[in-house]
Structure 1
């Protein structure tokens, strides 16, 4: 059983730094397939529905080690600000 640990990015409607939790999400064990009757995508893997949140990266790593889960860490990309003046709209 393997999992990935990452930090969710803010959506476009959030402005402050706020609470940024770390998420441990299991990697799907089998691919999703279309249901022949309804056409909905699904699989028999129930672990794919589980997402655990932790207040820090260390807590998420400690949980994975305690439970014997091979977890990969996905680093948070650095923030890039596009500084632009109002006058640049008229160039």
Structure 2
């Protein structure tokens, strides 16, 4: 079962960069999930899917996967451009667009 090594993106409700600096190693799903007939819950017998390992660097994650004999694939993060704008810029005199309510 291959593992996925990646750096998570920030969530939509997150303004800072917390929890986006570490690299994660996750195992991919080996068998399909099953629907439990009585309650309708989904279940799986694959316990490795619940495991998430965190590493400070990509090299540490790769070294761990190679040391343990785990096949892996690395997904490089895409750097997002942050638009820096202060709240005071909403009220400046020389705005390019008119301010409306």
Q: TM-score, normalised by structure 2?
A: 0.75
Asked if 1:3 corresponds to 2:19, the answer is no
Asked if 1:13 corresponds to 2:14, the answer is yes
CA drift of 1:9 comes to 1.4
Is the strand fraction higher in 1 or 2? 1
User: What secondary structure does 2:60 align onto?
Assistant: helix
Paired residues, number: 91
The unaligned stretches of length 5 or more in structure 2 are none
Q: Is the 8 A contact 2:28 2:49 kept in 1?
A: yes
Greater RCO, CA 8 A, separation 6+: 1
CA drift of 1:90 comes to 4.0
Residue in 2 that maps onto 1:77: 78
Q: Give me the whole-angstrom Cα distance separating, in 2, the residues matched to 1:81 and 1:90.
A: 23
- Over the residues paired in the alignment, what is the CA RMSD in angstroms? 2.4
Q: Give me the whole-angstrom Cα distance separating, in 2, the residues matched to 1:62 and 1:75.
A: 16
Question: Larger radius of gyration, structure 1 or 2?
Answer: 2
